[in-house]
Amino acid sequence: MTDNIKLLVVDDEERFLQTLTKRLSMRGFDVTPVNRGADAVKVADQQSFDLALVDLKMPGMSGEEVLEAIKEKHPDMEVVILTGHGSIDSAVECTKLGSYTYLQKPCETEELLQVLKDAYHKRVQRKLQLNEDKVNEMLNLAQGESALGILRKLRDLEKNKEK
């Protein structure tokens, strides 16, 4: 099930990043490790990821900023926070910014895997929901219309989206 999960891991602690990457890969994740916040945002723009595992306290761009940037550009991507800092304030802050959940270092492998799987499941569910919504929308559009009418409506919809 984890074979196809594309995961972006962001942490300035190099040793931790490498080992975690290796262990997650061994468990079937498609992991891209990044040790700078700004790089993470760049990589997320270039490739599509299902999930991101983000540290908070990093020099340069902080974890919160990464979270905010990713959520803004890729709202359907789930972001899990994994930090050594761990205060209630920052947890509340991250939840507000749209993180899936907030984990504290050191985190047990089982728990981490479970969270990542749940986050992925949520993403899949959301995608399915989105597809279903789209189908329903189309069905609504198509009701009582000729084929040409449907095409015209779809074109209008596209135009509206672009705007």
Partner 1 sequence: MDTRKGSKDPHYPLLKSSQHHDHAYFDQLRSKMRWRLTVVYLTPLLVLSVLFYFEYSRNIHEGIDNHMRSIAENQRNTIDLFLQERVSNIRSEFRDEVLPVPYSANEMKAVLGDLRRESPAFVDLGLFRPDGELVAYAGPFPDLVGKNYAQETWFRKLQSQKSRHVISDVYLGFRDKPHFSIAVRRPGKDGLWTLRASVDPEKFGEFVSSSYLFKDAEAFIVNPEGIRQTFSTRKEVAADKSLMPERTPETEVTEVSVGGREYLRALAWLTENEWALVVRVPEAKAYASLHQARLMLAGILLLAVISILFVVVRSSKKLIGRLEAADSAKETLRLQLFNAAKLASVGEMAAGVAHEINNPLAIIYEEAAMLIDILDPQFGQTVDYDEFRERLGAIKEATMRGRSITKKLMAFARKHEPDPEETDINLMIDRVLDVKKTDFSVSDIKVVREFEEGLPLLMINRNQMDQVFLNLLNNAKDAIEDDGRITVRTKRDKDWVRIEVEDTGCGMSLEVLEKIFFPFFTTKVVGKGTGLGLSISYGIVEANGGRIEVESEEGKGTNFVILLPISNM
Contacting positions for partner 1 (CB under 8 A): 12-13, 15-16, 19-20, 22-23, 26, 57-60, 62, 83-87, 89, 104-109
Residue 106 CB, nearest approach to partner 1 (Å) = 4
Instruction: Spell out the alpha helix ranges (H) of 27-146.
Output: 37-46, 63-73, 88-97, 109-142
Taking the complex as a whole, how short is the minimal distance between the CB of residue 36 and partner 1, in angstroms? 12
Nearer to partner 1, 104 or 131 (CB): 104
Q: How far apart are CA 47 and CA 144, in angstroms?
A: 41
Strand segments (E) across 26-142: 30-34, 51-54, 78-83, 101-104
What's the closest the beta carbon of residue 13 comes to partner 1, in angstroms? Answer: 6
Nearest alpha-carbon partner for 61 in 35, 95, 91: 35
Residue 54: closest CA among 75, 30, 72, 38: 38
Rg (CA), the chain: 19
Residue with Cβ nearer partner 1 (84 or 149): 84
Minimum CB distance to partner 1 smaller for 13 or for 118: 13
What's the closest the beta carbon of residue 123 comes to partner 1, in angstroms?
25
